Amino acid sequence: MGWFSGDVEVSFDTPPYVVVDKPFTYITDSGLVHTIPEGFRSDGASIPGIFRGIIGGRLDGKYRRAALLHDFGYFHNVQNKAYWDKIFREAMIADGVKFWRRNLMYRAVKWFGHGAWNTHRERDLAS
C-alpha cells in the first residue's frame, strides 16, 4: 500500500484556493515518489455544492492530502490523467477514506475530470 510522509499544512489564499506551507510526500504502491512542494496552490477536491453535505468540503476529511496530490498531478501534467486518478484512489486508501466515499470521489474524477485535465494540458502546450 502507498503511504504519505508529512502532514498537510496550508494557508488560505484567494477563495477557494489554499497554498501548501510545508512539503509532503506520497510514495505509491509501486515505489514512485511524488512530493508536493511548499507554495503549491490548490482548490482542493472539486466537490459540487449539492454533494458537500454527503461527501464533505473541498479540504475536509481524510481525503485532504489525496486531493492536493491529485491537483498537483493534474496541474503538472506528468504521466496521464488515468495515472493521477488511480493515484488519487490509492492515496485515499492509504489515508483511510471510507470505501463508499473514495469510490464515489474516484469515479467522479475519472468520469468528469477531463475538463480540469485538458485545461492544464492546453496551458502547458501553449507555453
Q: In this predicted structure, what is the pLDDT of residue 61?
A: 85
pLDDT digits (tens, 9 = 90+) for 73-120: 998 877 899 999 999 999 999 999 999 999 998 988 888 877 777 775
Query: Mind giving me the DSSP string for 6-17?
Result: S--EEEE-STT-
Q: In this predicted structure, what is the pLDDT of residue 125?
A: 54
Q: In this predicted structure, what is the pLDDT of residue 122?
A: 61
User: Is 63 in a helix, a strand, or coil?
Assistant: coil
pTM, full prediction: 0.87
What is the C-alpha separation between 92 and 101, in angstroms, rounded?
Answer: 9
Taken in order 13, 18, 24, 25, is the CA torsion positive or negative?
A: negative
- The reply to whether omega before 16 is within 30° of 0 (cis) is yes
pLDDT digits (tens, 9 = 90+) for 11-66: 999 888 999 999 999 999 999 999 999 999 998 888 877 778 888 888 888 999 99
Position 121 confidence tier, pLDDT thresholds 50, 70, 90: low
CA angle 45, 105, 123 (to 5 degrees): 50
Which three three-digit cell numbers place residue 110? 475519472
Please say whether the beta carbons of 88 and 63 come within 8 A. no
